[in-house]
Amino acid sequence: MSFTDIFKSSFLENVTSVSLLDMALALVLAFGVGLFIFFIYKKTYAGVMYSSSFGVTLIALTMITTLVILAVTSNVVLSLGMVGALSIVRFRTAIKEPMDIAFLFWAIAVGIVLAAGLIPLAVFGSVVIGIILLVFANRKDSSNPYIVVLSCEGSESEKAATEYLGQNTKKCTVKSKTARKGSVELNVEVRLKDDNTDFINALADLPGVQNAVLVSYNGDYMG
């Protein structure tokens, strides 16, 4: 092997395997579609605490996936090595919202499809998915669930409070009950008849009711 053979590497040959136009077009489209995914995520988010960093992650994930697939499609040998390298990557971050998983897969899928050159499929498919998510994710039930946290002095005040809730709400279901000496704590799921929450004030004024707290939640209860 001569000195010049050392520099005859396939590394330099791979520099032109993907044209600058293809790279620029794929990354710009990935940024645009990723921005659309971020917009849909922001509009359909229904969790407790919105994280703007996760929305930025969706944009970055779309572009990174496009970058990786562009490299894979340009070289078969590189694709085999990259599969082995990526197989050792492990992510330990817990996904709290089920819809976040759908958005992550959406961003990855768009990156793959764009890098494969199927631009109409990526754009049209993202628009259809976005419309479906806007329609169904923003669809609210007319009777949104609430949790009423009650602290009562005894069984008599507890009975009076639950009867009052049953008369002034559409639905009333006891989720949990904690009894201590001299006090009873109830977690009651209620569905309001209308948007008026003044009944909670009257509930707190009932004899034997120490305090009453009204909390909105998404209907998932962990007892």
Q: Where in the chain is the domain with CATH 3.30.70.260?
A: 145-216
For the segment 60-107, what is each residue's pLDDT rounded down to a tens digit? 988 988 888 887 776 655 555 555 555 555 656 666 677 888 888 889
pTM: 0.60
Q: What is the mean pLDDT of residues 166-185?
A: 82
> Homologous superfamily of 145-216 in CATH?
ACT domain (3.30.70.260)
Quick one: average pLDDT of 133-143?
A: 68
Whether 204 contacts 212, CB under 8 Å:
yes
What is the percent of the chain where pLDDT is above 90?
A: 6
